[in-house]
Amino acid sequence: MDDRLFRNAMGKFATGVTVITTEVDDEVYGMTANAFMSVSLDPKLVLISVGKKAKMHDRIKQSKTYAVSLLSDHQQKMSMVFAGQLKEDYEVIFERFNNMPVIEDALANITCDVCKEVDAGDHTLFIGAVTDIQIQDGEPLLFFDGKYRDIQSSTSSLV
Ligand code: FAD
C-alpha cells in the first residue's frame, strides 16, 4: 500500500495537538504529538506513540516519565516549535507542575510515569500511569488534513 494514501487517510482523523515533555539530566525536551489517547479510567492510563527516529523516543526510554500538554487555539506557535516547523530558535519558558516541565496556559497538563512500552513498527507506544492533572478553560488547537485549525474556523466551514 502507498505511504501517501495511508498518511492522507490518517489525516482525515481530526485531533487535538499536544506537546510531550520530558527531562533528562536537568535538560528539558519537547515534541509535538497528536497520537495521544486516554486508555483507562481505573487505573488512569494514557498512551502516546513516538517515532523511533525522534530524539524524544530515547529521552523517554531514559527518563521513564513524560508530561502531555493539550494545546489551546492560541498555541499553534508552540506546536510548530516542538515539531521543528520554525526556522528561528525560540526560547520556551516551561512551567513546573508535579516536578515536570509542562507548557504553560495549555488546556490540560498531564504528568505520567511510563508503565508499559509496546513496540509498534517504526513507533513505540508509551503507556503512562497518570500521576497528576491540571486543567483550564479555553478552546483547543486542532489538526486535520495536514493543517492547523481552530473550532471557530472548523465550525464556520461547516455552515
Ligand atoms: P527535535 O527535532 O530535537 O525537537 C523538535 C523541535 O523541538 C526542535 O525544533 C527543537 O528545537 C524543539 N525543542 C525541543 N526541546 C526544546 C526546548 N527545551 N526548548 C525549545 N525548543 C525545543 N511524531 C511522533 O512521533 N508522534 C506523534 O504523535 C506526532 N504527532 C505530530 C502531530 C503534529 C500536528 C505535528 C506537526 C508533528 C507530529 N509529529 C509526531 C512529528 C514530530 O513532532 C516531529 O517529528 C519532531 O520534530 C520530532 O522531534 P524530535 O524528538 O526528533 O526532537
Q: Please work out whether the CB of residue 16 comes within 6 Å of at least one atom of ligand 1.
A: no
Q: What values do phi and psi take at 139, rounded to 5?
A: -110, 150
Angle at 111 between CA 128 and CA 15, to 5 degrees: 75
Give the start-to-end residue ranges of the domains of the chain: 13-149
Per-residue model confidence as pLDDT tens for the chain (159 residues): 899 999 999 999 999 999 999 999 999 999 999 999 999 999 999 999 999 999 999 999 999 999 999 999 999 999 999 999 998 888 899 999 999 999 999 999 999 999 999 999 999 999 999 999 999 999 999 999 999 998 887 655 544
Distance (Å) from CA 131 to ligand 1 centroid: 23
Query: Whose Cα sits closest to atom 2 in ligand 1?
Result: 84
Q: What was the pLDDT predicted at 159? A: 44
Distance (Å) from CA 88 to ligand 1 centroid: 15
Query: Whose Cα sits closest to atom 53 in ligand 1?
Result: 55
Q: How far is the C-alpha of 150 from the C-alpha of 106, rounded, in Å?
A: 15
What fold characterizes domain 13-149?
Pnp Oxidase; Chain A (2.30.110)
